[in-house]
Amino acid sequence: MNLTEIKNVYKEVFEAYEHPSIETHIKKIIELDAYLPYSSTFFCITNTQNLSFEYISKNMTSCLGLDAAVMSELGMNYFWERMHPNDVEPWLQALNELMAFTLSEISVANRSRMSYSWNYRIKNSKGVYVNVIQNTTPLEFDINNKPIIGLAHYTVLDSKINLQVSATAKFLNDNKEYETLFFKNFSQKLLSDGVSNRERDVIRLLVLNYSSKDIAEKLNISANTVDTHRRNILKKLNISSTGELIGMMKTNDYFIF
């Protein structure tokens, strides 16, 4: 798939009808960036209407070795050109399905509480394809309530890690905990086929060392229900303990957004 084809599909997903004002968002993000340490994560404010990066944090260069000025000038086209060819089609499919899910299943009032994640490989300045996990939170919407301005966090992982290509949509509940509403694993491995969205949330919180009681409070379910989910997860993944589960997750053989 060439760049023109990518752009056409992308525009269909993020079709927009007016240019929003995001000066306030950009100002606050720039203020925050000055105080953040260098790490394996950088963030951008993305504009899907004109295919631009409205802001790129200083960590981008330390993570990928790319020139922020060039990336800012050339926008998303420059970034797409560096994506691994095998990841382009599943990435576009993920964007399309996430957008369709949002428009059909998420109320307008709740769309600002959503968070979207997906992964792909990008060629860094050394010519090495590294793993990128992108998490985007909508900031502004067009007149049809489609998200078009987003705060995107990019976490860069070693090229030797073999990640399954996945996409997730999560909702920030009243307890300030993200609940998985949509998940699709494009590699079609066991974890996507056998584990429910609720079990996925339990796994994610277990990896963060929360107890069953804590998880129950965050997800607004009973501790007994959490324990039932834990037993079902171990059975589905054919493992014997929570410790083994956490170890498996941290090897990155499986990826939980």
Domain spanning 189-257: CATH 1.10.10.10: yes
- Domain ranges across the chain: 3-186, 189-257
Is the confidence at residue 191, as pLDDT, over 50? no
| Predicted confidence band of residue 19 (pLDDT cuts 50, 70, 90) | low
Q: What is the pTM of this model?
A: 0.78
Q: How would residue 234 be classed by pLDDT, with cut points 50, 70 and 90?
A: confident
Residues 91, 163, 101, 199, Cα dihedral to 10°: 180
What residues have CB less than 8 Å from 167, skipping those under 6 apart? 94, 95, 97, 98, 116, 117, 118, 182, 183, 184, 186, 257
* CATH entry 3.30.450.20 includes domain 3-186: yes
Q: Which residues contact 129 (CB under 8 A, 6 or more apart)?
A: 84, 121, 122, 123, 159
Instruction: Supply the mean pLDDT for the chain.
Output: 86
Q: How far apart are the first and last CA of the chain?
A: 27
Residues 118-169: tens digit of each pLDDT: 999 999 999 999 999 999 999 999 888 888 899 999 999 888 888 878 899 9
Question: Which neighbouring-strand residues pair with 46?
Answer: 53, 150
